[in-house]
Copies of this chain bind each other. A is one copy, B any other.
Amino acid sequence: MQDQALHYAQTHQTETLDALKAFLSIPSISMLPEHGKDMQLAALWLVDKLNSIGLHNVKIMTTPGHPIVYADWLEAGPDAPTLLIYGHYDVQPVDPLEEWVTPPFEPTVKGDSLYGRGTSDDKGQLYIHVAAVEAYLQSAGRLPLNIKFLLEGEEEAGSTHLENFVIEHQEMLQADAALISDSHILDPETPVLITGVRGLTYMEIAMRGSKHDLHSGMYGGVVENPLNAMVTLLASLRDEQGRVTIPGFYDDVKPLTAEDRQAINNGIISEDSVLDETGAPVLWGDPDYTVAERKGARPTLDIHGIKGGFIGSGAKTVIPATASAKVSMRLVPQQNPKKIAELFTQHVLNISPDTMEVSIETHNTGDGAVIDMSAPAIQAAAEAYEQVFGKPSLYLREGGSLPIVPMFIEVLHAPVVLMGFGLPDDNLHAPNEKFHIPNFYRGIETAITYYQLLAERIA
């Protein structure tokens, strides 16, 4: 059965890539209200596709936000294990649009790469499993295990409604393991299993200093400028070593044990690799921790944008009435993102100058998690990687945040396998996002292999 599926996948690569391109051409940007219709189109596209490859119970399930697409195939019977596959069909916004070399929603092949928004995060990786299931059902007419698809449309908008959905549909989603392909491996040849994800708290600070914009010649030096007040406040949120200065921020951060440090500093992430991937002149961060520790196992604070005033060409001398800033904090698993949101809010209000009316909004929060690598579902993933890539899988604590991971662990009591196929330089959330096409095909073969191995290991 596995051989039939592998043969099918290998002989249908062109059709599979074309289908992915069609999926990618729908601009399903969950964060921008003007793309609401595109979100529906992307969900409907998935429903059509999942029906056509032979899945059952294919449906669009509403949430207070963007819908969730569900499908399953449970004909392997009650003795076979059930695998829940999670993916997200929404993508990040595309600005700055002018920096894209090819249009973000016209997927374009150049060399070994497929360029376009969502190629790697996460439509391309999600589609790996659609293609793997298709290969089994279209060649052998069956799968070696039961499969459930849970495809979300709000991951890039903070997965706001996912937790309630999972809690409400626990029975429908019950599985022996959950699988997510939304991460990256080390390089095209070296697979990586993720051993932990960071939590996230995303805030927005708004300040108002006057009832309308002012002329800096008339009011400079007399009425405080919200941009000046904002930079002073934002600058104070970190110290010179990059440590966050919010009181209580580190209270729940456990010191890394010698064992942790050994596991994290396994040589995968080096200063050189990060310099090479990013082109940064030098690296940066808390000198008490190594690059690998800072990247995956320490909390951070980043500013994502500051709005207010004039950013066009030329020289406008405005004191804007308002300014706002988006700030997020990546958290270690022990930190409670909601508590961090409260500490942030309280601290910012405490240090806000009396020249400003200040308001603070929590955009979203997501828990972190550390993954138990001894589960059979995860060992099977390492084996599948090795069979297809011909090289043992590495283990990496990932710096990104996948709120679905701790939620699956807590609500579904299922081990979560983070089996990704992206690359570190895929330009996630940035212009010219891409996906390495050979790993798209290798990903399909790895998925096909994994389904078989999981059936054997858990049966």
How far, in angstroms, from A424 to B212 measured CA to CA in the complex? 12
CB neighbours (8 Å) of A364 from chain B are: 315
Q: Measured between C-beta atoms, what is the minimum distance from A258 to chain B in Å?
A: 21
A204-220 near B? 1/0 per residue, CB < 8 Å? 10000111111111111
Partner of A224, one of B211, B212, B284, B311: B284
- Residues of chain A whose beta carbon lies under 8 Å from any beta carbon of chain B: 31-33, 92-93, 95, 156-158, 184, 198, 200, 202, 204, 209-225, 227-228, 230-232, 234-236, 238, 242, 274, 278-286, 291, 294-295, 298-321, 324, 326, 328, 330, 353-357, 363-364, 398-401, 424, 427-432
Interface centre among A158, A200, A202, A314 (most CB of B within 10 A): A314
In the complex, what residue of chain B is closest to A209 when comparing beta carbons? B280
How far, in angstroms, from A311 to B198 measured CA to CA in the complex? 24
How far, in angstroms, from A302 to B316 measured CA to CA in the complex? 11
CB neighbours (8 Å) of A227 from chain B are: 302-306
CB neighbours (8 Å) of A357 from chain B are: 281
Pairwise interchain contact A356-B215, C-beta atoms closer than 8 A: no
Which 10 pairs show the lowest CB-CB distances between chains A and B? Answer: A217-B400, A211-B279, A213-B430, A31-B314, A305-B309, A221-B300, A235-B235, A224-B284, A315-B363, A220-B300
Pairwise interchain contact B313-A31, C-beta atoms closer than 8 A: yes
In the complex, what residue of chain B is closest to A92 when comparing beta carbons? B316
How far, in angstroms, from A319 to B211 measured CA to CA in the complex? 32
Interface centre among A198, A216, A309 (most CB of B within 10 A): A216
Whether A295 contacts B218 in the complex (CB less than 8 A), given A213-B431, A318-B304, A354-B282, comes out as yes
CB neighbours (8 Å) of A308 from chain B are: 305-306
29 pairs from A and B in contact (CB 8 Å cutoff): A32-B312, A156-B316, A210-B279, A210-B280, A211-B278, A211-B279, A212-B279, A213-B429, A213-B430, A214-B278, A217-B330, A217-B400, A218-B295, A219-B278, A221-B399, A222-B295, A223-B278, A224-B280, A227-B302, A231-B235, A235-B235, A235-B236, A280-B355, A284-B353, A302-B317, A304-B309, A305-B311, A309-B326, A314-B363
Pairwise interchain contact A215-B428, C-beta atoms closer than 8 A: yes
Number of copies: 2
Pairwise interchain contact B274-A212, C-beta atoms closer than 8 A: no
Pairwise interchain contact B222-A430, C-beta atoms closer than 8 A: no
Whether A198 contacts B212 in the complex (CB less than 8 A), given A302-B228, A315-B158, A326-B315, comes out as no
Q: Which applies to chain A's interface (DSSP): helix, strand, loop or mixed?
A: loop
How far, in angstroms, from A85 to B234 measured CA to CA in the complex? 47
Interface centre among A202, A224, A291 (most CB of B within 10 A): A224
Pairwise interchain contact B294-A222, C-beta atoms closer than 8 A: yes
Whether A228 contacts B303 in the complex (CB less than 8 A), given A215-B430, A217-B398, A222-B285, comes out as yes
Q: Measured between C-beta atoms, what is the minimum distance from A230 to chain B in Å?
A: 8
How far, in angstroms, from A127 to B211 measured CA to CA in the complex? 29
Q: Measured between C-beta atoms, what is the minimum distance from A182 to chain B in Å?
A: 11
Add 20 more A-B contacts to A93-B316, A305-B310 (CB < 8 A). Answer: A31-B313, A92-B316, A93-B314, A156-B316, A198-B217, A212-B427, A212-B431, A218-B400, A221-B242, A222-B285, A222-B399, A223-B278, A227-B302, A231-B306, A232-B235, A235-B235, A235-B236, A284-B355, A306-B309, A311-B326
Q: Measured between C-beta atoms, what is the minimum distance from A34 to chain B in Å?
A: 10
Partner of A310, one of B95, B222, B299: B95
Partner of A215, one of B294, B317, B429: B429
